[in-house]
Structure 1
Amino acid sequence: MVALKTVGLLVVRDRKLLLAFSRNKQCFYLPGGKVDEGETEKGALCREIEEELHVQLTEEDLEYYTHITAPAFGEKRGVIMEQDCYLVHRDIEPKPAAEIGEIRFFSSDEYAEQSAQAPGAIAILKILQEAGLVD
């Protein structure tokens, strides 16, 4: 089994979670990505969010929220995503960039209607729903 160390950004508005549509993987997932060698988690997340959403964050904008483990969507069988998820504590105006085709806010039920669903997105939506943060 191979583990991918990743980070994800949690943006909740009106009891819905922001997800980004990857043109490469043809699925909505949590904005963020892999942590490169020598990067801190928060540094990697700031870099990924600037690349994907045209938003400049500082490490001080981010607060650790939770960790999820799930099969890595779009990767070979047996690849597991180990993702630390961070809340952002200021308003941001994300715009799709790079491989991101669209961004949208989802409730758990709305995401369940998607034809392709990332296991990590399902997991974090469940955690946020149990915490009363999303519908």
Structure 2
Amino acid sequence: MKQTTALYTVGLLHINDRKLLLAFSNNKQCYYLPGGKVDEDETAITALLREIAEELNVQLTENNLEYYTHISAPAFGEANGTIMEQDCYLLDTGFHPQPSAEIGAVHYFTLEEYLQQPVTAPGAVMILQQLQANGLID
């Protein structure tokens, strides 16, 4: 029997000009949702605020975030059988990310543009599909 492991994460959804912001991980060589793992002593919101400060040098507040959806997808760059369980939050304010540490770049994508990337993360594809189906991105 194949064993699966859950990886609890949180992701930021920032839409500009009908495109979704994704961050390029230098470690994983792939664009994915800004955010990351939720530590044992954190709430999803606390983890998201911490991760965005670390990855993008932006201090957000809980008031700027609205829960959007939860996705489950194979965890990109993790051991086979690891499933990412991710709460996704929409950011409702202007945003000027400055990539830091493991983030090499940020870019806004439509689903079609993202699918043209050499490497794609299953969770990013899934959320782009959902945002497009809901009419939020092109």
User: Partner residue of 2:97?
Assistant: 94
Q: CA deviation at 1:15?
A: 0.6
Q: Is it true that 1:72 corresponds to 2:52 in the alignment?
A: no
Corresponding residue for 2:15? 12
4+ residue runs over 6 A deviation? none
Q: Which residue is 2:119 aligned to?
A: 116
Q: SS in structure 1 opposite 2:28? A: coil
Matched, 1:54 2:57: yes
Measured after TM superposition, the shift of residue 95 of structure 1 is 1.0
Residues 1-22 of structure 1, C-alpha deviations (whole Å, 9 max, x = no match): 0000000000000010000000
| Structure 2, unpaired ranges of 5+ | none
| Alignment of 1:43 onto 2:43 | no
Quote the offset at 1:77 in angstroms.
0.4
**% same residue:** 64
1:92 maps to a residue whose letter is F
The alignment's TM-score, normalised by the length of structure 1, stands at 0.99
Distance 1:73 1:12 in 2: 22
Residue 129 (structure 1) aligns with: 132
In the superposition, the TM-score normalised over structure 2's length comes to 0.97
RMSD: 0.5
